[in-house]
Structure 1
């Protein structure tokens, strides 16, 4: 493969990784927004003036929201790791392009 072909391939890979990183950043922001919304929901549920019967329902809703928060946290960690990986690949591509 000649230099021009290598350069074109690296630029194409960089473009793909940039798009991937952008999509991951968008997904990460959606995750953060969902986490913030869920925290607000939990706070509102905690500060309601409830009857005993309502209390059981609210406790169930709080447990569901807390489980959802845990899922969001795990997903967020994966998005962050994937973003870091994409960024590292782009740095490698930039180094390879510089060395050509």
Structure 2
């Protein structure tokens, strides 16, 4: 086999390897991005749960407080209150092929007399 034919053969196999790896790299990048979005959502849900618990302790609407504390990209999936405790579930925005999921945060705050 001549050097020229050998180079063409090698270039063809490199092209096939790149074509095979690009979708895998894109998938890994999307999964990493999804993990980042989930972490950000958990952090924002914690702040919203605190706001809801504070509103409840002051006799105000905890759902309105939670929705007001969340950025526009996040939605309250559910909120439940029990005594001085608030449990908030927030939908994580979907940016990858992973299934949709929620994060849950619980916060307790003493009722203000």
More strand per residue: 2
**Paired positions, count:** 72
1:38 corresponds to: 48
The 1-side partners of 2:46 and 2:55 are apart by 14
CA contact (8 A) 2:34 2:96 kept: yes
1:7 alignment counterpart:
17
Deviation at 1:22, TM superposition (A): 1.0
Contact 2:67 2:75 survives alignment (8 Å): yes
Contact 1:31–1:72 (8 Å) recurs in 2: no
The 1:45–1:34 alpha-carbon spacing in structure 2 relative to 1, beyond 3 Å, is same
- Alignment partner for residue 28 of structure 1, among 38, 42, 51? 38
Is the Cα contact below 8 Å between 1:24 and 1:82 reproduced in 2? yes
The CA RMSD over aligned residues, in Å, is: 3.0
Normalising by structure 2, we get a TM-score of 0.47
Unmatched 5+ stretches in structure 2: 1-11, 78-89, 100-113
TM-score by length of 1: 0.52
Say which structure, 1 or 2, has more relative contact order (CA 8 Å, 6+ apart). 1
